[in-house]
């Protein structure tokens, strides 16, 4: 077959471009670095105390390579926070206010969320730690939680329209309180609470959201 015939059939006539190779290299290095940070945190290291040299050694890359893809150490944590938040959101987003299990269904959802965070307690702890002094990490994590706030407001609107939640409920405020209060309770429990009490904590968070918002009676 002639070269022109092969091209017209849509068959490639050459390998990956330099750009493709560089993109593959970036993905490989980034994955190795993220995995290295995850391992170091699981070993009990504080993210604040980790050095770029430690991370580079663990990832088996040169420190200059690390700086090439992550100019600041905290940029690593921002990317990991996105993944952490998305995983939790996917769990919560599967539940709907019309779940026939009602409050029990919401409780089961929070049991799963707590379990998810408990498996990643090292990362949640690092985010909480660094958010206390790094504005970029704090604002990024808040942006992740804002997705939950939007979801909570959508739930509340659905319940108001169905007549199951008070029409005078202020959705933006209620959504903020429900999400941020629940997140703080979960983070505190995961950091220092007894795993045997996961369901008890989940029940209380679910009840606060259920009776405080989704099934709140009219105040007047």
State the pLDDT confidence band at 136, using cuts at 50, 70 and 90.
very high
Whether 60 shows a pLDDT value over 70: the answer reads yes
Is residue 156 within 8 Å of residue 165, measured between CB atoms?
yes
Report the mean per-residue pLDDT for the chain: 90
User: What pLDDT sits at residue 65?
Assistant: 87
Whole-number Å distance between alpha carbons of 207 and 214: 10
pLDDT digits (tens, 9 = 90+) for 62-103: 998 888 888 888 989 999 999 999 999 999 999 999 999 999
- Please report the pLDDT score of residue 15 as a whole number: 66
pLDDT computed for residue 186 by the predictor: 97
Token digits for 40? 């170091």
- The pTM is what? 0.85
* Fold of the domain built from segment(s) 17-71: Arc Repressor Mutant, subunit A (1.10.10)
Classify domain 75-214 at the CATH topology level: Tetracycline Repressor; domain 2 (1.10.357)
pLDDT at residue 1 in the model: 45
Task: Considering the chain, tell me which residue range(s) the CATH 1.10.357.10 domain(s) occupy.
Answer: 75-214
22 in the Ramachandran plot: left (φ > 0), alpha (ψ -120 to 50) or beta? alpha
Pinpoint the residues of the chain covered by CATH 1.10.10.60: 17-71
Reading the block at residue 209, the tokens are: 């959201």
5-37 pLDDT, tens digit each: 444 455 555 667 866 666 777 788 889 999 999
What percent of the chain lies above the pLDDT cut of 90? 78
Q: What is the pLDDT of residue 9?
A: 53
């Amino acid at each position: 077959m002639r070269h022109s015939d092969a091209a017209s059939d849509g068959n490639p006539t050459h390998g990956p471009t330099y750009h493709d190779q560089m993109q593959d290299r970036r993905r490989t290095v980034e994955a190795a670095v993220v995995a290295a940070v995850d391992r170091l945190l699981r070993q009990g290291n504080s993210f604040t105390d980790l050095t770029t040299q430690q991370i580079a050694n663990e990832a088996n890359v040169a420190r200059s390579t690390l700086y090439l893809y992550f100019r600041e150490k905290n940029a690593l944590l921002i990317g990991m926070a996105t993944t952490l938040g998305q995983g939790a959101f996917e769990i919560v987003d599967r539940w709907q206010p019309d779940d026939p299990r009602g409050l029990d269904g919401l409780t089961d959802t929070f049991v799963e969320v707590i379990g998810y965070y408990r498996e990643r307690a090292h990362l949640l702890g690092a985010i909480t730690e660094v958010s206390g002094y790094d504005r970029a990490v704090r604002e990024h994590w808040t942006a992740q939680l804002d997705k939950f706030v939007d979801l909570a407001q959508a739930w509340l609107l659905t319940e108001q329209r169905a007549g199951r939640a008070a029409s005078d409920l202020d959705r933006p405020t209620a959504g903020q309180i429900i999400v941020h209060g629940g997140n703080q309770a979960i983070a505190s429990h995961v950091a220092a609470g007894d795993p045997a009490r996961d369901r008890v904590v989940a029940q209380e968070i679910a009840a606060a959201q259920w009776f405080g918002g989704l099934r709140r009676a009219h105040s007047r």
